Amino acid sequence: MSNTYQIINFYEFKHLGGAEDLAKLKPRLRDSLFNFNIFGTIIIAAEGFNASLCGLPENIGPFIAEVESILETVIDPKSSFHESSPFRKHEVRIKPEIVTLKREVDISLGIGTHIDPKDWNNVISDPEVLLIDTRNDYEFHTGTFRNAINPSTAKFSDLPEFVENELDPAKHKKVAMFCTGGIRCEKFAPYMRAKGFTTVYQLSGGILKYLEVVPENEQLWDGECFVFDERVTLDASLNKGDGPDRSLRHHDQTEAKSFPK
């Protein structure tokens, strides 16, 4: 295989305990990164974990098995390949949130909102469905689903203001949403339900899973998918794309830039 590094993304909203529990988890996870020579970032918080990592394919399986044991869970990663490592560090970070919305959210309200990528085309082809791209403005302009609305946000925590100003539960009866890997929608779908939007859909696994499982000739995706690593964009086959870096980012500009959401 010419593409020698396997890039994996995974997350879960799962109670990991308080500050002392997180402090104990951090070195165990970091040791796993070093032991299997895995690069990238794992973020842990009381609400769960979020990871964007890469390593040699033969090391990924044993690494995942060890992390599953540490976090007492089952991991279903999204996966792609690249000829070089898009990450440089072995990092575990403790944060207040694994994705920053700055709003209290009851994640359980998202139960029943997930749509399998293979069924996504049918959902967003419904003319009654309002399709929202929950990502940032520069991500939208790199690529998006056909007929998706761009909230023109600079960061995820701006999205509630867009909903407050532009959307109405009485008018918008069906709302679908998507993001890169699924994690933003895991928070925003239940947030929308709490705001009175009764029929809410979210793309399970995000754009990355959709591009992984839906044949290119059946996709309703246009453009490339922005990712928060050195590849910058991915094409419809999850190979490194040709698109520019519209984020104007620097890799040390913000810790959120080291993992896709």
Catalytic residues: 179
**Angstrom distances, CA of residue 24 to CA of 30, 44, 70, 94, 203:** 11, 11, 11, 11, 33
Residues in the chain: 261
Torsion of CA 136, 179, 213, 131, to 10 degrees: -100
CA 146 to chain CA centroid, nearest Å = 19
Q: Which residues contact 45 (CB under 8 A, 6 or more apart)?
A: 16, 22, 94, 95, 96, 97, 98
Q: Which residue has the tokens 């890039």?
A: 7
135: region left, alpha or beta (phi > 0 left; psi from -120 to 50 alpha):
beta
Tell me how far apart the terminal alpha carbons of the chain are, to the nearest angstrom.
27
